[in-house]
Amino acid sequence: MNSNIQKELLIPKSPDQVWAAIAESRGLAEWMYPNDFEPRVGHRFSFIVPAKPDVGFDGLTVHCEVLQCEPPKRLVFTWSAGELSNTQVSFILKPEGSGTRLFFQHSGFDTTRTLGKQAFYGADAGWTEMLSRLSVLAIEAENDE
């Protein structure tokens, strides 16, 4: 059985500003991880997830490939790390009032396997934390204007 992580955020920034945060290497590094991302279909890139020794996590490299890139509306890429493969991350942006509604999905977790179930719960917690940082950065940037 495949399981998906889905999140939805209203960000008080224009779609172009949110796009810069999710589809530029520097923007992604501010709320996710260091990377060598480029917004073009077929580009292979990596995120370097740092170790967290306090919880016994050694860190890892996530290997990705851009599958869809439609500025400033949709970004989809593969996400593979360790035993986790064949999953996809997607961001869909829709203007809403003076902000942007961001629809996030990480799909393709095989939760029939123990490792798949662990990866699903770990990724869900990780995405909750990272998307929270994205929201905070957007609000802080709005307050600085």
Alpha helix (H) residue ranges in the chain = 15-22, 25-31, 114-144
> For residue 80, what are the contacts with CB-CB under 8 A and spacing of at least 6?
62, 63, 64, 86, 87
DSSP, collapsed to helix, strand or coil, labels residue 43 as: coil
Name the pTM for this structure.
0.91
pLDDT in tens, 28-86: 999 999 999 999 999 999 999 998 899 888 889 999 999 999 999 999 999 999 878 88
pLDDT in tens, 73-125: 999 999 999 878 889 999 999 999 999 999 999 999 999 988 888 889 989 99
* pLDDT band (50, 70, 90) for residue 136: confident
Alpha helix (H) residue ranges in 2-113 = 15-22, 25-31
pLDDT for 2: 77
Burial of 82 (0-12, 13-18, 19+ CB in 10 A): exposed
95 close to 15: Cβ distance less than 8 angstroms: yes
pLDDT for 75: 98
Q: Which domains does the chain have, with CATH numbers?
A: 2-144 (3.30.530.20)
Q: Is the pLDDT of residue 20 over 90?
A: yes
